[in-house]
């Protein structure tokens, strides 16, 4: 990677910039991006889904979060790039680094199409405070990336209302009502999964995320979809036009934005890229606020809720069958992390309406489990053996919805240490899943329930406890989440609503030894209303047994044992009809009461 950084520095010199920023982003603020946008990976060799590269003539640094510290250390070795561990003591933020090192007159360069308007403001204020400036019109990645992949242009298809639960026309009417409340003339929507949800459309322009490259502009009388015409069939164009949606070329969005003279324009500064904001004419009136689609998308309607229950029944059957197979096969067959993942995919493919994985599978054996978002490659692919833990974090898309589930599986004998920490993680997972709470609580209120068994021992895990999940859309979806602290650029005030789906996934990781994570998706529902207010609770969607061989019953409270037994009874009752005789007998054994000998 040293060569690519040298080439970037040459381009920087020609452009006259002191520093160049390469985020992990596309033109739409997506978490996962298509091949065209993986410039940070191309330049640094770091393949994690989150990270920002900053290059100066003397320094190259990669900023990433705690999920990727171990992975980044391995992938950046001998690259000349310094790993900057975000949030760790003594590690400056990118803004702090720039403030410390930028001399008067220095210019920070980046492609403003890949930087949010809020980030742009922060970078500009930082550089101007140091006597410098920013230049957001530089795509230096394109200059140095030989044979850069083309922008994806995969076909788009329509999700029938029998699955979506609400028609495109109804959703557009709701959006227009929100515009009227904001007294806005136009809304600029650039978030890919919001557009897909709003129009009941799905695509394949980002691996494992059924979205398509597009922009959308909505007013009281018009809806303009900016998209490559080649990805829409004639039949789909007619259906869209029947609902008042006009098709425009993807490349013409910025020209349209520049035509909005004198209009009141609603946008989300955290979501829209800076180039969009720069294109708005000076006479436009800026109306800042959340995208109305984000909240509406996060609260699943009754059809979506019922469909997600069915998706998890099917996915639970596939995963449970695979776990039973794996525990037998590891004793007699040569297996690896990759081959085990491939076999799991065949179990999911056998389920009706399966559409593909919801993210790249994370199967990490033994010490690889301590790398939170490890992804096996041919170079790292570990052989499995009949002892220790295999952490399996996987998910699938079905016409009925999206799943995301983690089980830490005992392939054979375990140490007492492994059992102790598995039990501690399970305790937190059970207690968060069983929470009943006043309406108005956020993830900041509830996260401690998952961490308490570890915090009591002075231990922790370096990632959030849970995230929202889309309906046949992005596996990570805002705004609902479980986190214990406020993070810059993130909303932490989202109240849990009836219909929100969130992951419950505490973990524990010992570098060089093992990793443990247990994850269910949970559906928020109203419990009761009385003189003290409205109360909410969670219903588990994920159906798959926990690892009985890893649980120390004596470390569970009576309440925790009851919660575990009740969940396991539900798993057995729901999945046993989908098992063959051998699988059913095994499932019965591993879901019997935990204190039963």
- CATH number where 457 lies: 3.90.230.10
- DSSP symbols for 383-400: BP-SBSEEEEEE-EEETT
Domain boundary among 257, 277, 297: 297
Structure tokens at 428: 């937190």
Cα–Cα distance between 508 and 496 in angstroms, integer?
26
Angle of helix 168-182 relative to helix 192-199, nearest 10 degrees, comes to 120
Structure tokens at 67: 């999920």
User: Helix, strand or coil for residue 226?
Assistant: strand
Report whether 190 contacts 29 (CB < 8 A): yes
104 and 31 together in one domain? yes
Report whether 292 contacts 152 (CB < 8 A): no
Q: Answer yes or no: is 316 within a domain.
A: yes
100 and 191 together in one domain? no
Cα–Cα distance between 460 and 506 in angstroms, integer?
9
Q: Answer yes or no: is 596 within a domain.
A: no
Residue 204 DSSP symbol: -
**Which domain range does residue 404 map to?**
299-588
Compute how many other C-beta atoms are within 10 angstroms of the C-beta atom of residue 597. Answer: 4
User: Helix, strand or coil for residue 526?
Assistant: strand
Q: Answer yes or no: is 281 within a domain.
A: yes
Residues 6+ positions from 444 with CB-CB distance below 8 Å: 483, 484, 485, 486, 492
| Degrees to nearest 5, angle at CA 233 with 231 and 238 | 125
Per-residue pLDDT tens digits for 306-337: 999 999 999 999 999 999 999 999 999 999 99
The four Cα atoms 276, 280, 282, 285 give a dihedral, to 10 degrees, of -100
Report the CATH number that the domain containing residue 288 is assigned in CATH.
3.40.350.10
* SS3 assignment for 322-357: HHHHHHHHCCCCCCEHHHHHHHHHHHHHCCCCEEEE
386 and 509 together in one domain? yes
Helix (H) or strand (E) holding 266: strand 264-267
234 and 314 together in one domain? no
Partners of 187 in beta bridges: 218, 266
221 and 84 together in one domain? no
Domain boundary among 271, 297, 323: 297
Cα–Cα distance between 26 and 23 in angstroms, integer?
9
Structure tokens at 587: 């499932």
Cα–Cα distance between 530 and 287 in angstroms, integer?
39
Tell me the residue ranges of DSSP E strands in 385-490: 389-394, 396-398, 401-402, 405-410, 436-438, 466-468, 477-482
Say what the pLDDT of residue 487 is. 72
Say what the pLDDT of residue 408 is. 98
101 and 186 together in one domain? no
Q: Answer yes or no: is 597 within a domain.
A: no
Report whether 225 contacts 193 (CB < 8 A): no
C-alpha distances (whole Å) from 92 to each of 61, 86, 87, 96, 529 are 11, 8, 8, 5, 47
Pairing of strands 436-438, 245-248: unpaired
C-alpha distances (whole Å) from 302 to each of 165, 299, 498 are 7, 10, 10
Cα–Cα distance between 394 and 407 in angstroms, integer?
9
Cα–Cα distance between 335 and 329 in angstroms, integer?
8
Pairing of strands 107-109, 520-530: unpaired
Structure tokens at 565: 């037994």
293 and 305 together in one domain? no
The strand order across the sheet containing 405-410 reads 362-365, 389-394, 405-410
Cα–Cα distance between 201 and 168 in angstroms, integer?
9
The strand order across the sheet containing 401-402 reads 354-357, 396-398, 401-402
How many domains, in total, are found in the chain?
3
Cα–Cα distance between 202 and 185 in angstroms, integer?
27
Cα–Cα distance between 443 and 448 in angstroms, integer?
9
The strand order across the sheet containing 264-267 reads 245-248, 223-226, 215-219, 186-189, 264-267, 285-288
Q: What is the pTM of this model?
A: 0.94
236 and 303 together in one domain? no
343 and 288 together in one domain? no
Q: Answer yes or no: is 594 within a domain.
A: no
339 and 456 together in one domain? yes
Domain boundary among 92, 110, 144: 144
Q: Answer yes or no: is 284 within a domain.
A: yes
Q: Answer yes or no: is 511 within a domain.
A: yes
Structure tokens at 43: 């330049």
324 and 373 together in one domain? yes
Say what the pLDDT of residue 488 is. 64
Q: Answer yes or no: is 192 within a domain.
A: yes
Report whether 93 contacts 252 (CB < 8 A): no
Say what the pLDDT of residue 66 is. 81
292 and 351 together in one domain? no
The strand order across the sheet containing 107-109 reads 82-85, 60-64, 52-55, 19-22, 107-109, 133-135
Residue whose structure tokens are 């003290």: 532
Cα–Cα distance between 488 and 323 in angstroms, integer?
39
* C-alpha closest to that of 482 among 494, 468, 499, 465: 465
**Regions of the chain with pLDDT less than 70:** 1, 488-491
Structure tokens at 144: 């140095």
């Amino acid at each position: 990677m040293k060569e690519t950084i040298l080439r970037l520095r040459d381009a920087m010199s020609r452009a006259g910039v002191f520093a160049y920023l390469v985020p992990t982003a596309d033109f739409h603020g997506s978490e996962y991006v298509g091949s065209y946008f993986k410039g940070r990976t191309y330049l640094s060799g770091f393949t994690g889904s989150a990270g920002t590269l900053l290059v100066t003539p003397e320094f190259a640094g990669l900023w990433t979060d705690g999920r990727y510290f171990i992975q980044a250390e391995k992938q950046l070795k001998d690259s000349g790039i310094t790993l900057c561990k975000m949030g760790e003591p003594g590690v400056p933020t990118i803004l702090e680094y720039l403030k410390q090192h930028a001399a008067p007159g220095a210019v920070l360069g980046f492609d403003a199409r890949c930087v949010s308007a809020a980030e742009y403001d922060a970078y500009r204020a930082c550089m101007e405070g140091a006597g410098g400036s920013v230049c957001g019109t530089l795509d230096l990645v394109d200059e140095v990336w030989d044979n850069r992949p083309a922008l994806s242009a995969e076909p788009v298809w329509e999700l029938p209302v029998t699955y979506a639960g609400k028609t495109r026309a109804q959703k557009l009417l709701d959006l227009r009502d929100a515009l009227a409340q904001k007294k806005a003339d136009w809304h600029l929507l650039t978030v890919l999964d919001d557009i897909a949800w709003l129009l009941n459309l799905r695509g394949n322009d980002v691996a494992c995320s059924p979205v398509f490259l597009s922009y959308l502009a909505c007013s009281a009388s018009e809806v303009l979809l900016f998209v490559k015409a080649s990805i829409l069939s004639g039949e789909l164009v007619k259906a869209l036009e029947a609902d008042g949606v006009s098709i425009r070329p993807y490349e013409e969005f910025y020209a349209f934005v520049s035509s909005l003279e004198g209009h009141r324009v609603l946008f989300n500064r955290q979501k829209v890229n800076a180039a969009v904001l720069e294109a708005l004419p000076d006479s436009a009136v800026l109306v800042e606020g959340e995208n109305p689609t984000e909240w509406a998308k996060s609260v699943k309607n009754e059809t979506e809720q019922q469909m997600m229950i069915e998706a998890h029944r099917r996915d639970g059957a596939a995963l449970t069958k695979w776990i039973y197979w794996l525990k037998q096969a590891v004793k007699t067959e040569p297996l690896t992390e990759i081959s085990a993942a491939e076999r799991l995919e065949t179990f999911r493919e056998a389920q009706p309406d399966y559409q593909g994985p919801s993210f790249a599978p994370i199967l990490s054996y033994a010490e690889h489990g301590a790398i939170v978002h490890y992804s096996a490659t041919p170079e790292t692919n570990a052989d499995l053996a009949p002892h220790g833990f295999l952490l399996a974090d996987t998910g699938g898309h079905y016409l009925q919805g999206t799943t995301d589930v983690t089980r830490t599986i005992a392939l054979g004998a375990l140490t007492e240490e492994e059992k102790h920490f598995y039990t501690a993680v399970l305790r937190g997972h059970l207690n968060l899943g069983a929470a009943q709470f006043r309406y108005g609580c956020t993830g900041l209120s509830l996260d401690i329930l998952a961490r308490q068994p570890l915090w009591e021992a002075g231990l922790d895990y370096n990632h959030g406890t849970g995230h929202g999940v889309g309906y046949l859309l992005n596996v990570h979806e805002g705004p609902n989440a479980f986190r214990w602290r406020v993070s810059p650029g993130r909303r932490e005030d989202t109240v849990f609503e009836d219909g929100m789906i969130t992951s419950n996934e505490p973990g524990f990781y010992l570098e060089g030894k093992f990793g443990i994570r247990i994850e269910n998706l949970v559906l928020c529902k109203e419990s009761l209303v009385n003189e003290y207010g409205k109360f909410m609770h969670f219903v588990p969607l994920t159906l798959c047994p926990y690892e009985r061989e890893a649980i120390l019953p004596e470390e569970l409270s009576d309440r925790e044992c009851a919660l575990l037994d009740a969940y396991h009874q539900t798993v057995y009752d729901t999945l046993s009809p989908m098992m063959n005789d051998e699988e059913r007998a095994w499932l019965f054994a591993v879901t019997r009461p935990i204190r039963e000998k």
